[in-house]
Amino acid sequence: MSFSDDIARFAKKAGSNADLVTRKVVLDIGTSLVEKTPVGDASYWQSPPPPGYVGGHARGGWSHSEGAQVVQEFEGVDPSGGLSINRIAASVPIHAAGKVHYIQNSVPYIQALEDGRSRQAPMGMVGLTKVEFQGIIRNAAGKVK
């Protein structure tokens, strides 16, 4: 069973609230990924950071698309994650049910972070959010009822 099959089956169960629940699930997954993404901290580094270094490029790299994955690296940093969360929220359609949603990050080193290369996220971000998926769905459905 694929992720999209799970979503389609859930949307069918949700009935008239399917769009609201699906939208909330996508937003909650996006928020989870953004918040779990580490922000560079030069105090952990063996060599000094470049002049003017500010962490948060990876956290600022999350986005949402519908129907197809979009490869786009965003400029700048987002240490709080607010810009990424707002970007995701703005792109999730009101009629979200029954569609394939992608949440992606095109920062070149995102796979290394997912693989535990950061002391701040030794278990990654995507894998942990995947483990939380059923709880995210239950929470969303409970709030929409």
**Residue 104 sits in which domain range?**
3-37+54-144
Rg of the chain over Cα atoms, rounded to whole angstroms, equals 16
Token pair of 59 as six digits? 């956290």
Q: How far apart are CA 109 and CA 144, in angstroms?
A: 36
Give how far Cα 111 sits from Cα of 118, 126, 128, Å. Answer: 11, 10, 14
Q: Which of 31, 26, 33 is nearest to 110 (CA)?
A: 33
The answer, yes or no, to whether residue 71 has pLDDT greater than 80, is: yes
Work out the angle at residue 34's Cα, subtended by the Cα atoms of residues 10 and 1, and round it to the nearest 5 degrees: 30
Number of domains in the chain: 1
Q: What is the pTM of this model?
A: 0.86
Examine residue 32 and state whether it is found in any structural domain, yes or no: yes
Predicted confidence at residue 20, as pLDDT, reads: 92
User: In sequence order, which residues have a C-beta less than 8 Å from that of residue 139 and are 6 or more positions away?
Assistant: 28
For 30-62, how does the pLDDT look when each residue is reduced to its tens digit (9 = 90+)?
999 999 999 998 888 888 988 888 999 999 999
For 96-125, how does the pLDDT look when each residue is reduced to its tens digit (9 = 90+)?
999 999 999 999 999 999 999 998 999 999
Examine residue 49 and state whether it is found in any structural domain, yes or no: no
Residue 126 CB neighbour total at 10 angstroms: 18
* Ramachandran quadrant class, 116 (left: phi over 0; alpha: psi -120 to 50; beta: rest): left
- Percent over 70 (pLDDT), the chain: 89
